[in-house]
Chains A and B, each alone.
Chain A
């Protein structure tokens, strides 16, 4: 079949030549840079150049990439408008915090590197499972609706999750959860972010992921082709929730202090701003959006606090303005529906 000339309308768009750079090469490069970076910052080498602040910034970028890429699964590829991502992040963060403080021994009692790895795997695995479970249950009821109502219901669940945590005394209630051990470092975040990107990339290009795009393009046609819409949507929701939980688990063990308030509507909107800045249905866009947004906000913070300290807080107005301007001028975002070549699958493979 592959030698037969294809009719024009079914042929894939012509590829402008395959890039030599493959996904695993990028991963290897990032890890090869991350490992010595982490080690030298931990050892306190070159404090002028390798400021821990930069590493912190990179850590935040990594966690945000996980959040935004997983939300892109729902809002970009599946084409729904989910507004409750921070809720799943909260579930993951609190699960990881509980596991790390109450269930597991401290990292000091275990062998140095291996111990931290085990703790991270257990806490993050627990966070992902818990968030996926909550996501699955919420998805069961959520996907009886579409469009505006889906947006409202997901936002409603986000608020209910935050409200429920506020009423739980054993996790600190509204005062927040303190004393979480610092197990997450930049290296762990980099590994998790790369794993997330690799997994999502393969998932989206698989037949499983094509089903989501088909639902976005025409749900009725997809249904006629034998797609179980409810099940496919719920899978997407569960997977996205699991990755939000992963980001939450990393976040909790990086910040060492979490409050329910930090996972409300405002956080969800921040994730949305990065997602729409980068572009829908594009993992490259998610990466670019997070990096551009985070660097812009930090740059503004530094510039304003140097030149006009009294205006430092005014950068809070920038993020909603970016969102409005993107929507008015370029609704597809920076890289909507386009992918960097190294993130595309190999043709014909």
Chain B
């Protein structure tokens, strides 16, 4: 029983990180129908910005460090969108996808060359003592940092939900997702809406990167692996849907934790990608997505 609860917390922690990345994929896809292959590397960059801040500004408490890293990564995300993606918005769709691939590899190599290829750990800024209440009542050994990562992630997702569903900019985002051509005619600044979407997605990914660096470790190539997992999660949940991305992330993390615990850790990636392909073939619009009809 206690190991099951512990595994449940492991899955929730991994799922929270996946969800923070998957939301960026899903939002960008929902708004401009672009698969941003560089998003996994934005997540990686967020982790490294967090590492830089913790090592250079050691006095900074976590509640300042996290928003600052999120802000810096959001700036990077918006800059990339401005420089590399915006002028391709009306070009052939695949041109932008190829550009995102290029941007991703550029970021990987840039971090590798400036910071180094080694695997690093962000110095712990969250308390790592076990949660006494859980240990006494359920017999499960769960540390405070794990619990805090899950809770802060859920809080960020709740804030995102409020922004998208209860604010003016959120309404504009949903309108752009619905019809990109009609919305500018209504006087909405399309460039601003898309820039805000990239900013929010990048900021969430940065939070994911810092949490991942606290819980596990970071290296310049982690964006490929984790980014793809998060992307799979977004597809499982139905790409373009915020609730779907969160749901899919926790589901995928659950499957992975079960695979590692009861089968083999070597099969982890194979099963995740097998699941993706199976899903795309039989259920391409995912749990929460809307089926789209091909127009003739």
Query: In this complex, what residue of A is CB-closest to B93?
Result: A147
Report A286-316 CB contacts with B as 1/0, cut-off 8 Å: 0000000000000000000000000001101
Please classify how large the interface on chain A is, using the bins under 10, 10 to 19, 20 to 34, 35 or more: 35 or more
Q: Which of A93-101, A108-116, A159-167, A244-252 contacts B (4 or more CB under 8 A)?
A: A159-167
- Say how far B279's CB is from chain A's closest CB, in angstroms: 10
**A160-B270, A328-B87 known; A272-B281 Cβ under 8 A:** no
Is there an interface contact between B106 and A324, defined as CB atoms closer than 8 Å?
Answer: yes
Is there an interface contact between A328 and B276, defined as CB atoms closer than 8 Å?
Answer: no
Is there an interface contact between A316 and B113, defined as CB atoms closer than 8 Å?
Answer: yes
Query: In this complex, what residue of B is CB-closest to A150?
Result: B280
- B residues near A331, Cβ cutoff 8 Å: 91-92, 95
Within 8 A of B (CB), among A201-217: none
Is there an interface contact between B99 and A327, defined as CB atoms closer than 8 Å?
Answer: yes
The reply on B72 being an interface residue by CB < 8 A is no
- Say how far B236's CB is from chain A's closest CB, in angstroms: 12
The reply on A220 being an interface residue by CB < 8 A is yes
Is there an interface contact between A159 and B269, defined as CB atoms closer than 8 Å?
Answer: yes
- B residues near A317, Cβ cutoff 8 Å: 106, 109-110, 113
The reply on B224 being an interface residue by CB < 8 A is yes
**A316-B112, A320-B106, A328-B84 known; A269-B277 Cβ under 8 A:** no
Q: What CA separation (Å) do A293 and B90 show in the bound complex? A: 28
Q: What CA separation (Å) do A331 and B92 show in the bound complex? A: 9
**A272-B101, A316-B109, A320-B103 known; A166-B266 Cβ under 8 A:** yes
The reply on A198 being an interface residue by CB < 8 A is no
The reply on A157 being an interface residue by CB < 8 A is yes
Is there an interface contact between B281 and A141, defined as CB atoms closer than 8 Å?
Answer: yes
Query: In this complex, what residue of B is CB-closest to A264?
Result: B224
- B residues near A159, Cβ cutoff 8 Å: 228, 269, 273
Is there an interface contact between A320 and B88, defined as CB atoms closer than 8 Å?
Answer: no
- B residues near A156, Cβ cutoff 8 Å: 273, 276-277
Is there an interface contact between A81 and B102, defined as CB atoms closer than 8 Å?
Answer: no
- B residues near A144, Cβ cutoff 8 Å: 281
- Say how far B115's CB is from chain A's closest CB, in angstroms: 13
Q: What CA separation (Å) do A148 and B96 show in the bound complex? A: 11
The reply on B1 being an interface residue by CB < 8 A is no
The one of B101, B113, B270, B296 in contact with A314, judged by C-beta atoms closer than 8 angstroms, is B113
- A residues near B93, Cβ cutoff 8 Å: 147-148
Query: In this complex, what residue of A is CB-closest to B102?
Result: A323
- B residues near A164, Cβ cutoff 8 Å: 270
Is there an interface contact between B267 and A152, defined as CB atoms closer than 8 Å?
Answer: no
Q: What CA separation (Å) do A166 and B267 show in the bound complex? A: 10
- B residues near A81, Cβ cutoff 8 Å: 94, 97
Is there an interface contact between B102 and A320, defined as CB atoms closer than 8 Å?
Answer: yes
Binding site for B on A (CB under 8 A): 81, 141, 144-145, 147-149, 151-153, 156-157, 159-160, 163-164, 166-167, 220, 265-266, 269, 272-273, 276, 313-314, 316-317, 319-321, 323-324, 327-328, 331
Task: Provide a sorted-by-A list of 9 A–B residue pairs whose CB atoms are within 8 angstroms.
Answer: A81-B97, A157-B277, A166-B266, A276-B98, A314-B113, A320-B109, A323-B99, A328-B99, A331-B95
The 8 closest A-B pairs by CB, nearest first: A323-B102, A320-B106, A320-B105, A324-B102, A316-B109, A320-B102, A163-B270, A327-B99
Binding site for A on B (CB under 8 A): 33, 35, 84, 87-88, 91-99, 101-106, 109-110, 112-113, 224, 228, 231, 235, 266-267, 269-270, 273-274, 276-277, 280-281, 284, 296
